[in-house]
Chains A and B, each alone.
Chain A
Amino acid sequence: MNRGVVPAAEMLHCTDLTVLERQRARMKWQQEQFHVVQQQQQESYFSELSGVFSVPSQVSHVQSFEGGLLGGGGDLVLGPVKPDPALENGWPDLGKVVVPGYGFGPCGPAFDANYAISRTTSCPPAVAAEAKVKESSIVNHKMSAAVGRESFKKRKADKVHNTKVGAEDEAKDKRMKGCAEEGDSKITEQNNNNNKSNSNNNRETSGDTSKENSKVSEVQKPDYIHVRARRGQATDSHSLAERVRREKISERMKYLQDLVPGCNKITGKAGMLDEIINYVQSLQRQVEFLSMKLAAVNPRLDFNIDNFFAKEVFPACPPNFPPIGMSSDMNNPAYLQFNPVQQQVVSCSGLEMGINPSDMGLRRTISAPPETFLDSSCFTLQPSSIWDADLQNFYNLAFDQGRSTITTTPFPSQPFTGSIEASNLKMEM
Chain B
Amino acid sequence: MRSPSSLKQEFLKKWILGLQVCNSLKNMNVFERKKAIKLSADVAMASSRNGKTCWSRALIANASRNDNGKEFVEKILGSDYERQNKNSTMSRRTRCRKILKRSCTTIRKAMKRSTPSRPKVLAFSVAKKMIKKRTQLLKSVVPGGEFMDEVSLIEETLDYIISLRAQIDVMKSFANATEIENRKKDQQW
Contact = CB atoms under 8 A, between A and B. Distances in A.
Interface of A: 245, 248-249, 252-253, 255-256, 259-260, 269-270, 273-274, 276-277, 279-281, 283-284, 286-288, 290-299, 301-307, 309-310, 313, 325-329, 340-341, 344-345, 348, 374-375, 377-381, 403-406, 409, 411, 414, 417-419, 422-423
Nearest to A288: B38
Nearest to A309: B16
A256 B160 CA distance: 11
Contact of A381 (B135, B173, B183, B185): B173
A411 B179 CA distance: 10
Contacts of B165: 283
B177 to A, nearest CB: 6
B5 A297 contact: no
Contacts of A345: 177
B184 A277 contact: no
Interface residues of B, number: 62
Interface stretch (B7-15, B64-72, B88-96, B114-122): B7-15
A85 to B, nearest CB: 68
A224 B83 CA distance: 34
A290 to B, nearest CB: 4
Interface SS of chain B: helix
Contact of A291 (B13, B164, B171): B171
Given A253-B154, A287-B167, A379 B173 contact: yes
B130 A270 contact: yes
Contacts, number: 196
Contact of B158 (A255, A277, A297): A255
A276 B158 CA distance: 10
A-B complex: 8 closest residue pairs judged by Cβ atoms:
A273-B134, A291-B38, A295-B34, A295-B33, A252-B154, A290-B171, A291-B37, A283-B164
B23 A307 contact: yes
Given A270-B131, A279-B161, A325-B188, A287 B5 contact: no
A357 to B, nearest CB: 16
B82 interface: no
A405 B182 contact: yes
Given A291-B37, A293-B175, A310-B16, 17 more contacts: A256-B157, A283-B165, A287-B168, A290-B171, A291-B171, A294-B37, A303-B19, A307-B20, A313-B12, A325-B185, A341-B180, A341-B181, A377-B12, A381-B172, A411-B175, A418-B180, A419-B176
A294 B174 contact: yes
A303 B164 contact: no
26 contacts: A253-B154, A256-B158, A273-B131, A273-B137, A273-B138, A276-B157, A279-B161, A280-B161, A283-B165, A283-B168, A290-B175, A291-B171, A295-B30, A299-B30, A303-B23, A306-B22, A313-B16, A328-B187, A375-B9, A379-B8, A379-B173, A380-B8, A404-B186, A405-B186, A409-B179, A423-B183
B63 interface: no
Interface string B121-154: 0000001001100110110011000000011001
